[in-house]
Amino acid sequence: MKPTEFWSNTIGLHITPSAPHPQPWAYMVPHRTNNGVKPLRLGAIDAFYFGSHNGSFILGRIEHPNTDSLRIIGTEDVSARKYLAQYLIDKAKPPFIVGVMGNASPESSFSISHTLNRVTFCEASKSFTLDLDKVRLAYKTLEKFNWKKDVVPLIYALETYRTESDKLSSKFAKAKADLSKSSAELLAAVNQSTIKPYSGEYTILSWANIEDKK
């Protein structure tokens, strides 16, 4: 099955069941805006999605009833990125399609994730891949530590320590100092996770650790 067909079967046709279309994302659907509910093209306001034959959902401001096959989750009080990351870590089973729709046409970005060790997050011109098995293991290993305060600085320090060619640079000296200040337990956990900055795994873990909206 082509990715566009997979997206349509698991998401698109549940939004516009009375009007089948080869490009369901091109339809106007009701959205909650600052000026009330208005019909907008899907993606006019960022819409994060997860589609599978075992259940799908969209995170956004879409005014649409839930069905047995598609849930609509409002993002006024929920972080779409955090919800999606947590779902990938806790529940996702391939095959599935996951990503975000914005103003650009999403069709070329669509990709089905058939295995956990190669998941594609689909976004026009910005898609990235990740090993979800690795993310799940890292999340479990690191969850007892403060992500933003303790884990992130150490991930960057380790990467600098390993890759900086100039061992006399201030950048290398700072990384070495940061490593020396960290606890043995934290350093071992970050080392075990093997998470690198700017990677797809790092992105999903960062989303999973977004602070809840207040």
Q: What is the pLDDT of residues 142-197, one digit of tens each?
A: 999 999 999 999 999 999 988 887 777 888 888 888 888 888 999 999 999 999 99
Q: What is the mean pLDDT of residues 49-64?
A: 95
pLDDT of residue 213: 67
3-state secondary structure the chain: CCHHHHHHHHHHHHHCCCCCCCCHHHCEEEEEECCEEEEEECCCCCEEEEECCCCEEEEECECCCCCCCEEEEECCCCCHHHHHHHHHHHCCCCCEEEEEECCCCCHHHCCCECECCEEEEECCCCCEEECHHHHHHHHHHHCCCCHHHHHHHHHHHHHHHHHCCCCCCHHHHHHHHHHHHCCHHHHHHHHHHCCCCCCHHHHHHHHHCCCCCC
pLDDT of residue 180: 85
Q: What is the mean pLDDT of residues 10-37?
A: 81
Whether 26 shows a pLDDT value over 80: the answer reads no
Query: Mean pLDDT, the chain, as a whole number?
Result: 91
Q: What percentage of the chain carries pLDDT values higher than 90?
A: 71
If you average pLDDT over each of 99-113, 132-146, 163-177, which comes out highest?
132-146
Whether 21 shows a pLDDT value over 70: the answer reads no
pLDDT of residue 80: 97
pLDDT in tens, 61-100: 999 999 889 999 999 989 999 999 999 999 999 999 999 9
Whether 133 shows a pLDDT value over 80: the answer reads yes
The answer to whether the pTM exceeds 0.85 is yes
Q: Please state which of the ranges 22-36, 107-121, 150-164 shows the lowest mean pLDDT.
A: 22-36
